[in-house]
Amino acid sequence: MRRDQIAVDRQANLVPASGTPNALALVAPPTPRQLSVEAVQGAALGDAYAALGRLQGAVAHIPNVEMVTRTLARREAVKSSQIEGTRSNLSELLTYEATRGERGLPPDVKVTERYVLALQHGLERIREGGRAALDLRLIDALHALLMQDETTRLPVGAYRTEQVWIGTSSRIEDAAFVPAPPADVPRCMEEFEGAILQYAPREDEQGELTLLAQMAIAHAQFETIHPYQDGNGRTGRLLFPLLLAAEGYPPLYLSGALLRAKTEYYEALASVQLRGQWAPWLRLLSRAIVESCNESVSIAQDLAAMAERWEKSLERYRAHSATRRLPRFLLGHPVLSVQQAVEGLGVSQPAANAALNNLHAAGIVQLVNERRWGRVFQATEILERLDQPPS
């Protein structure tokens, strides 16, 4: 990284890169406690808050919304992992969860499944402890869950011990960005925790950071520090749903919108890191929130209507039978094993088998490669809806 890549007011934070004195690294400046009026005014934050309000209102009227959000969490895991280059898709992740078998699936499906575990853990901690739970111990725990299969290759749940850089070149001198040397990471992370993870307005500050400004700052500052050897992008994107959950918002996942704007996303973060310019990142984040809210509401409404239509087609079965209850359960388990139906519906194996056979006969579910996976079914209509690009 060259000195002329960095804005003049950030050059004081340049230091020799660890192990490579002829290369420069940027120690993250202190976490911002306010953003410029110009950056905020041009970001359409009002549109983003309006979209969050619509999401809250819609969620309150969608039956079995926890099943829909379960599936959307897995969709988020796929999209966030795909930003980093993984290739497994939602159907493959759900098949892996239903069968616990990797044969015939992309090797990175386990990587994606680890994101689900980390997200679930983070949301549970936030539900239990609120914003106070969002601390460095939780961030380390999330990273450890994400990277649990990499323990022989790199530090997991612990800060990096080597200099890293970002870019396509194998030479650090040609890197697009070189974050702080390892020795500076603990201090930067402690400052990050106090300034934004555990944010509270101070008496000597003019105004309070809005939640969306906190989200923008938290993610960009985390990526600037780049505390881990690997997995920083996925860990940093987990901050979005956790911050929203801590403030009482329903689950909202942004990685689909960020994946569609991947180049712009990386360029916006680079504008913050190299030049301290927040406007492009705030604009993109606001747009991603609006897109993601609209998409979540549309998907939730479509899936609820789908389940209602299926239930009507099964009215000849008893109202509380496994057959009649299964359509709603499918919203959270679009790929489903018999055992998952047993556990989820609280019925016997024969009852679960019979219910799945009834839905199969009605064309609601189809068998997934029975020779390889046994009796595993998928609701193809749900998966096709989840794969539709936003309108």
Positive or negative torsion for Cα 223, 226, 230, 235 = negative
Copy the structure tokens of residue 275.
């030049």
Any known ligand binding at 346? no
* Residue given tokens 């839905």 in the structure block: 359
Any known ligand binding at 47? no
* Residue given tokens 């795909």 in the structure block: 82
* Strand 366-367 versus strand 335-337 pairing type: unpaired
Residue 179's DSSP bridge partners are: 26
* Cα 27-30-31 angle, rounded to 5 deg: 115
Any known ligand binding at 9? no
Any known ligand binding at 234? yes
Angle between helix axes 322-330 and 279-313 (nearest 10 degrees) is 160
Active site residue 226: yes
Q: Which of 226, 320, 333, 360 is catalytic?
A: 226
Say if residue 151 is exposed, middle or buried (CB neighbours under 10 Å; 0-12, 13-18, 19+). exposed
What is d(CA 152, CA 146) in angstroms, rounded to the nearest whole number? 14
Q: Which residues contact 67 (CB under 8 A, 6 or more apart)?
A: 328, 329, 331, 332, 333
Any known ligand binding at 207? no
- Structural contact between residues 43 and 21, judged by C-beta atoms closer than 8 angstroms: no
Any known ligand binding at 266? yes
Any known ligand binding at 230? yes
Any known ligand binding at 237? yes
- Structural contact between residues 322 and 352, judged by C-beta atoms closer than 8 angstroms: yes
Helix (H) / strand (E) element for 376: namely: strand 376-378
What is d(CA 267, CA 165) in angstroms, rounded to the nearest whole number? 16
- Structural contact between residues 130 and 106, judged by C-beta atoms closer than 8 angstroms: no
- Structural contact between residues 301 and 391, judged by C-beta atoms closer than 8 angstroms: no
Any known ligand binding at 380? no
Annotated binding site for ATP: 84, 226, 230-237, 265-266
Catalytic machinery residues: 226
Annotated binding site: 84, 226, 230-237, 265-266
